[in-house]
Amino acid sequence: MAGIRTGICSGRVVAVTGAGRGLGRAHALAFAAEGAKVVVNDLGVGLDGSGASGGPAQGVVGDIAALGGEAVAHGGDIATADGAASLVATALDAFGRLDTLVNNAGFLRDRMLVNLGEDEWDAVMRVHLKGHFLPLKYAAAHWRAEAKAGRTPRARVVNTSSGAGLLGSVGQGNYSAAKAGIVGLTLVAAAELGRYGVQVNAIAPAARTRMTERTFAETMAAPGDGGFDAMAPENVSPLVVWLGSGASEGVTGRVFEAEAGRITVMEGWRPGPTADKAARWTPAEAGEAAYELLARSETPQPVYGVQPSS
């Protein structure tokens, strides 16, 4: 495979959901390039989750094979118990083990809140949040069994959140809520699964994919004079590969932003200014205290899509 390779994932088996296109495809190819055997999951659905085709997953398997790697396709719906369980089973049947799970599958049903239908809310919650929970649940059950049998793994999970989940995004209330939920799920899973040799982290990527064509329309310029395509999904994959490798020992429960050539550790909610009366406040007192605390606090980052005030 082309480029400088280190074999950082040699011998590892990696399952990537939503790997038929975009970021998932880039991750699958990057893992294979570093020596991993890959389970390529994809339903082959449209941007809104409609339709289904095995073509995208099989295409990525073919690309990996053409470059000298090993991969198998998985067409199950990972937002169902059967589909998630079969993802893990496919890795074990094909390669005899599972070392890394990359949860990446998703689609959009964007609407302003007053126009957002219940079915559109449920569909996005299902594929993003439930579609993270179920593969994580079944992979974790396998790794727990391995640890209890005296074969403690060096397992890794990389979840996919978003800047929309960290800051919010106008017109994406369902997507933002689901992606925020993934951060919470990541923190809990990291705390619960560490005893079994499992590390769980999340990324908030920014790249050119079907899901972001409208969001990044103004920043999706062609590569500059240096040939660096800042919005290429392949820019995000090196961090995902490292987090999914044994080399990331000790890194768990963290969230990273990855975009172009930039990696940022995101620092979540932590206590800011506080006031303690040591007794019950009246509403007026609580309001006065809140105003005073807000005056000493940092201004939040703006929600995506909010126009800056003049």
Kindly list the catalytic residues: 162, 175, 179
Report the distance separating Cα 120 and Cα 77, nearest Å: 18
One-character DSSP codes across 170-200: TTBHHHHHHHHHHHHHHHHHHHHHGGGTEEE
The sign of the CA dihedral 229, 233, 239, 244 is negative
Dihedral sign, CA of 73, 126, 131, 263? positive
Interacting residues of 194 by C-beta distance below 8 A, sequence separation 6+ = 252
- Separation in Å, CA 57 to CA 38, 89, 288: 11, 17, 57
Q: Report how far apart the first and last C-alpha atoms of the chain are (Å, whole number).
A: 50
What tokens were used for 41? 């999951």
Distance CA 290, CA 261 (A): 39
The DSSP symbol for 202 reads: E
- Is residue 220 a contact partner of residue 9, using CB atoms and an 8 Å limit? no
Q: Quick one: which of 198, 240, 190 has its CA closest to 9?
A: 240
Strand 255-259 to strand 262-266: parallel, antiparallel, or no bridges (unpaired)?
antiparallel
